[in-house]
Every structure is written in C-alpha cells, then in structure tokens.
Amino acid sequence: MRQIPVDTSAATVMVAKAPQPKVKDRRTGEIAVDKDGVTLMTVEVMFSTPDEVEILKLTVPQPGVSEDLAMGTPVALTGLVASAWENEFNGQKRHGIAFRAVAVTSLVAAASKPKAA
C-alpha cells in the first residue's frame, strides 16, 4: 500500500478527542498492535488550514503519543502519512483514507519547558 506524506506546515492541529487504544476487533475488544508488538493508539485531531477544517483519526504507536493530550491541546504531527484502503464486507465495498503518524506531540508541554541557560 502506497503511503503519501502529508505536509502539516500550513496547518493548525489540535486534539479533538483524547487518545484511545485502537481496537482491532470490536466483538472481542482485542487491542491492535503493530508488527513489533507495540500497542497502537487512535488520536482524533482537528486539522485546520486556511481553506478548511477536518477531523482526522490517526493511528499512532503508543510511545509516540505525548502524555496529557486533552481536547483542544495544540499538537505537532511527526511523520504523518495517508494511505488509501478498500475492503469488502457482506458484499459491500468500502474505501477511504487511513492516516498514520510516528508521533503526536503536545506543543503546550514544549512551550512551557524552561530554556537552558
């Protein structure tokens, strides 16, 4: 599956919903992990450009998620890529775009850290 890098330089990005473990199977409640066994998280963000605002649902490895990401927290997205997907379930084709990031980092935490002298 081709991954397309997403440029976030002209966007304002804020947390729309606090991070949650990504569920692999809703029937069993099984949590999704990547090929290395790292737990995956789902983070919903408001992605705002001068022309439009969208809510994106990102998949992020748990170590890449900053602590204390509450709704409205401004964040930086590292390594954001988009991938087209398609599947068939019960004879119905579905398709969309999946977003994945290496990290979601709070800009509030970075701004409040004291600078070294």
In this structure, what are the phi and psi dihedrals at residue 83, rounded to the nearest 5 degrees? Answer: -135, 130
Asked whether the beta carbons of 46 and 16 are under 8 A apart, the reply is: yes
| pLDDT for residue 67 | 87
User: How big is the chain by its Cα radius of gyration, in Å?
Assistant: 16
In order along its 117 residues, the chain shows pLDDT tens digits of 689 999 999 999 999 999 999 999 889 989 999 999 999 999 999 999 999 999 999 999 999 999 889 999 999 999 999 999 998 888 899 999 999 999 999 998 555 555 555
| pLDDT for residue 90 | 85
| pLDDT for residue 26 | 86
Sign of the alpha-carbon torsion through 18, 22, 25, 29? negative
| pLDDT for residue 103 | 97
| pLDDT for residue 100 | 96
